[in-house]
Amino acid sequence: MDAVVQLLRNGLCCIKDLGLLTDTFLWDPNVTLRYYDLPEPLHKTTPLEVLISIWQLYALLSTTTSGWKMFWSSIGKYRRVVRLLTKRASNVIAFSPADRFIDASLIKEAKFALRSIYIGLNVFFIGTGFFWLTGNSWHVTETSWIGGLPALIQALTVMELCLIPLLWFMWKDTLEQWDKANRMENLAHDMMQSDKTVWSVEDLGLSSMETLTLWLPFWDAGVGVLEPCDEIHEEKLMAAEKAKLTALLEPFSVKQEKTKSKDKKVESSMHQETLRSKAQELLGASRVTRWGGYREFVYLIINALAFYGYLVGIVVYYWDDEQKQPVYIKHLLLNMENDAADWNGNFLGDFMWTIEPIIILSSPLIFRILSPKPIKVKVD
């Protein structure tokens, strides 16, 4: 739903930027005045701006709500994960493969929770900026009711500052996806050659194990900070989680051994077939993961261009006298005049954020088309 709303909102903004459909009712403020008796300067609001403001209001509500929920639930999640890790440090004596993966998962989720706390705050403050954007669509920023144009510029500045760390995380996610895909491919080839080398569950990494077993522990979900802590219930959940994971790891738990025993040869052969089957799954998943990295990189480029485009409007506001602009500001504006730079920057931002939801909505189809089927590796 958010992607659809983003597409509608920024698509309408592009129509406004380009001055399309000017001969329709969308540009006639008198149509708006048929339904509402608006004071100055709100009486200048066109139906097109009304439509834009509706989706901006939706963005205000949805973005602030989702950002706050992420922030709040991630704090609770971090506290629970730390509590589980602390308890395991004092209780776990015999260290099994399941214990290794559980500890690795808890550490990973603790780091992810900290990151989500920070991202949630940034998303929340990005959402608040839509309050002034909604007011701007109704020409309210031409008055002093909500701070006027200076307040709008300050809101845009906050949104830009909050977007910077999100761009950094997009870059990190891109590299992590590509690195994960490489590890999965290497592991898959090792599994296919398992008749030549001794291979076991100890060779599995956390991300590959999660891909092969579809394991999703209970601590993956967020938890409200005020939600009561039931440590006895958590101990039962942890015991059940360990039992479930042990069962999921069973297909990987038999090491190949060179032996003359007929039974063990059969067991070893079955184990090799299981590994090769899982390796094929891993190869397919690695290709999807790699394409996910490419998609994340495209998101990074799109949002970086949008960041630059909207930044230009802020720069033009503070350096409105073209004769007094420093050289680096002129370079930032690509030596364009303020009006041209402002229009081009705003359109670039609107256009990039129109493309992004199209990619989001079409990703499932693109992945099905572009992801090649796993190629069987011939084993001598």
The number of domains in the chain is 1
Q: Which of 95-104, 162-171, 364-373 has the highest mean predicted lDDT (pLDDT)?
A: 162-171
298 within domain boundaries: yes
Burial 264-278 (b: 16+ CB within 10 A, else e): eeeebeebbebbbeb
DSSP 8-state secondary structure symbol assigned to residue 203: G
Q: What is the mean pLDDT of the chain?
A: 87
Position 101 confidence tier, pLDDT thresholds 50, 70, 90: very high
Mean pLDDT of 96-123: 93
pLDDT, tens digit, 9 for 90 and up, residues 151-176: 999 999 999 999 999 999 999 999 99
15 within domain boundaries: yes
Q: How far apart are CA 87 and CA 106, in angstroms?
A: 12
Residue 256: predicted pLDDT: 45
Please name the residue that has the structure tokens 């042990």. Answer: 246
Q: Give percent above pLDDT 90 in the chain.
A: 59
Burial 365-380 (b: 16+ CB within 10 A, else e): eeeeeebeebeeeeee
182 within domain boundaries: no
Please name the residue that has the structure tokens 């602009």. Answer: 325
Please name the residue that has the structure tokens 């229009």. Answer: 343
275 within domain boundaries: no
**Between residues 256 and 43, the one the model is more confident about:** 43
CA angle 263, 265, 271 (to 5 degrees): 105
100 within domain boundaries: yes
**Dihedral (Cα; 317, 146, 31, 57), 10-degree rounding:** 90
Cα 341 to Cα 160, 313, 322, 344, 368: the distances in Å are 17, 8, 11, 5, 40
Position 372 confidence tier, pLDDT thresholds 50, 70, 90: low
Least trusted range by pLDDT, from 27-36, 257-266, 348-357: 257-266
6 within domain boundaries: yes
Position 18 confidence tier, pLDDT thresholds 50, 70, 90: very high
Residue 270: predicted pLDDT: 54
Residue 208: predicted pLDDT: 83
The answer, yes or no, to whether residue 308 has pLDDT greater than 50, is yes
Least trusted range by pLDDT, from 86-100, 187-201, 273-287, 323-337: 187-201
Residue 188: predicted pLDDT: 84
The answer, yes or no, to whether residue 97 has pLDDT greater than 70, is yes
**Between residues 10 and 370, the one the model is more confident about:** 10
Please enumerate in sequence order all residues whose Cβ is within 8 A of that of 328, keeping only pairs 6 or more positions apart, or say none.
none
The answer, yes or no, to whether residue 313 has pLDDT greater than 70, is yes
Q: How far apart are CA 148 and CA 222, in angstroms?
A: 39
Position 146 confidence tier, pLDDT thresholds 50, 70, 90: very high
How deeply is 310 buried, as exposed, middle or buried, from its count of CB atoms within 10 A (0-12, 13-18, 19+)? buried
Q: How far apart are CA 39 and CA 170, in angstroms?
A: 44
User: How many helices (DSSP H) and strands (DSSP E) are in the chain?
Assistant: 10, 0
pTM of this prediction? 0.86
Residue 266: predicted pLDDT: 46
106 within domain boundaries: yes
Residue 124: predicted pLDDT: 97
204 within domain boundaries: no
How deeply is 339 buried, as exposed, middle or buried, from its count of CB atoms within 10 A (0-12, 13-18, 19+)? exposed
- Domain hosting 128: range is 2-177+230-253+287-370
Is residue 301 within 8 A of residue 171, CB to CB? The reply is no
